[in-house]
Amino acid sequence: MANAQANIGVVGMAVMGSNLARNLASREGNTVAIFNRSFSKTQSVLDAHPEAGFIAAHDYKEFADSLQKPRAAIIMVKAGGPTDAVIEELVKVFEPGDIIVDGGNALFTDTIRREKAVRETGINFVGAGISGGEEGALLGPSIMPGGSDAAWEKLGPIFRSIAAIAEGEPCVTHVGHDGAGHFVKMVHNGIEYADMQLIAEAYDLIRRGTGKSPAEIAEIFAEWNKGELESYLIEITAEVLRQVDAKTGKPLVDVIVDQAGAKGTGAWTVQTALDLGIPVSGIAEAVFARSLSSKPAQRAAASALPGPDEAFVVADPEAFVEDVRQALYASKIIAYSQGFDEIVAGAEQYGWDIKKGEIAKIWRGGCIIRARFLNRITEAYAENPGLVALVTASFFAEVVTSTQAAWRRVVVAAAQAGIPSPAFSSSLAYYDGLRADRLPAALVQGQRDFFGAHTYKRVDAEGTFHTLWSGDRTEIEAEDTH
């Protein structure tokens, strides 16, 4: 029987798993046990990183025996079936009080189900969102763990030791019980989709409006990254646009097929938002924009359809670029605002005590959506924990007030030029919808009552009403009709 030397284990030695294991091993006080279904992969990690001092296991029993009690192991395998398979094996060799962590991008309802099932064995199950890609896993990710308080007590110090540091604080917090961590990670990814789509639209508008090359636009993004838009995604966009294809000498972005892939977390964010009744329209448009891009047959069939007659020429390129920057900033705020609305609704629905300000804090470093203005979100929730819409907090309200004219010009220009800007325009429509005094929803209510007797409320009286639309058009209290 192996010596129980390791204080933490990692199952799954693909890039994310091995990088996370290396990150853990590099921190003072950690000894890391590793396991992979095929030992050859474990062996190659051992060979490549002798400095990590990994304890390698050939099977689950040996893995469990190499861990100090209470045992803690992080699963880093594909979401879905592969995760269930590993949990099933770990439950056989772990004991009550031990902790199984799923560090993959699991659907939060799967995490709720798994937590419930594993808890029955006395073993703790923690769904932890981990963001930051391969580099984050190795150097410091943002970690969003759910699960029980007891599990957090043991995991807290370990997670704090490997997380990214933002302004002196580790980017990890106990998000809430059972599936809360994976829920928040899902919304993180939804915001990531929206942010990426907005940046892509900004690039497209600038390129088609001003004729600038990708390399020139890279310089614009690099400049933007020095100001209020400073963020990881803006930074890497500049690098992507700068890249030249070795084979053709063209900008790499021009030789990449323009069909965006998706592993599903953005769609989950939207599906969940639909269930919760939360309008995450910017995120939804970002998901749909990827779907549209990936329909080559439909795109080919529609490619002969007409666009505007006149060519898109921007009179003042510098002013246009600044308008696009402001539109991007405003739309980005809407994406975060919608994401936080979803977190608030999810917390209410599932009984999680999620501290919104803490979430903004742990997204300041390590994760894909890290951005300068996340501190402002923390401040907004600290100032008013019951904030009903992030965009109404003073800082954000001021931003949209000062940028809305540019935002509108960009959406108008895009529509006139026939350049799709679904994320920009839906964000603006959301903003206008939210601030509207009266919405045409009143008419929709009338239509519903007309064909389905679905009833409506009046602005000047209590109660529920139904109109007898044909005949004498009398209005009656709905209760009387049943």
Which of the residues are catalytic? 185, 192
The single residue among 100, 143, 368, 411 that binds ligand 6PG, judged by CB under 6 A, is 368
The answer to whether 217 and 206 are in contact (CB under 8 A) is yes
Task: Classify residue 309 as left (phi > 0), alpha (psi -120 to 50) or beta.
Answer: alpha
Q: Which residues of 113-152 are buried (b: 16+ CB within 10 A; e: fewer)?
A: bbbeebeeeebbbbbbbbbbbeebbbebbbbbbbbbeebb
Smallest gap from Cβ 451 to ligand 6PG, in A, equals: 40
State the chain's maximal CA–CA distance in angstroms: 88
Give the nearer residue to ligand 6PG in terms of CB position, either 2 or 262.
262
Smallest gap from Cβ 192 to ligand 6PG, in A, equals: 5
The single residue among 263, 299, 457, 458 that binds ligand 6PG, judged by CB under 6 A, is 263
Give the nearer residue to ligand 6PG in terms of CB position, either 190 or 214.
190
The single residue among 173, 189, 338, 378 that binds ligand 6PG, judged by CB under 6 A, is 189
Near ligand 6PG by CB under 6 A, which window of 24-32, 147-155, 256-264, 384-392?
Answer: 256-264
Residue 139 binds ligand 6PG (CB under 6 A): no
Q: Is 240 exposed, middle or buried (0-12, 13-18, 19+ CB in 10 A)?
A: middle
Is residue 189 classed as helix, strand or coil in its secondary structure? helix
The answer to whether 373 and 228 are in contact (CB under 8 A) is yes
Give the dihedral of Cα atoms 228, 207, 369, 283; nearest 10 deg.
Answer: 110
CA pair distance 285, 282, nearest whole angstrom: 5
The answer to whether 218 and 242 are in contact (CB under 8 A) is yes
CA pair distance 25, 46, nearest whole angstrom: 12
Residue 240 binds ligand 6PG (CB under 6 A): no
Q: Supply 160's token pair.
A: 């704090």
Smallest gap from Cβ 371 to ligand 6PG, in A, equals: 13
Smallest gap from Cβ 188 to ligand 6PG, in A, equals: 6
Near ligand 6PG by CB under 6 A, which window of 127-135, 207-215, 245-253, 400-408?
Answer: 127-135
- Name which of residues 61 to 120 contact ligand 6PG (CB under 6 A): 105
Task: Classify residue 163 as left (phi > 0), alpha (psi -120 to 50) or beta.
Answer: beta
250 CB neighbour count, 10 Å cutoff: 11
The single residue among 118, 367, 387, 390 that binds ligand 6PG, judged by CB under 6 A, is 367
Residue nearest to ligand 6PG (CB): 131
Provide the pairing of β-strand 142-145 with 124-131.
antiparallel
Residue 357 binds ligand 6PG (CB under 6 A): no
Give the nearer residue to ligand 6PG in terms of CB position, either 131 or 210.
131
The single residue among 29, 81, 168, 261 that binds ligand 6PG, judged by CB under 6 A, is 261
| DSSP assignment string, 66-87 | TBPSSPEEEE-S-TTHHHHHHH
Give the nearer residue to ligand 6PG in terms of CB position, either 192 or 342.
192
Of 158, 131, 134, nearest in space to 16 by CA: 134
Contact pattern from residue 190 through residue 229 relative to ligand 6PG, giving x for each residue in contact according to CB under 6 A and a dash for the rest: --x-------------------------------------
Smallest gap from Cβ 231 to ligand 6PG, in A, equals: 13
- Name which of residues 264 to 303 contact ligand 6PG (CB under 6 A): 265-266
Q: Which residues bind ligand 6PG (CB under 6 A)?
A: 105, 131-133, 189, 192, 261-263, 265-266, 367-368
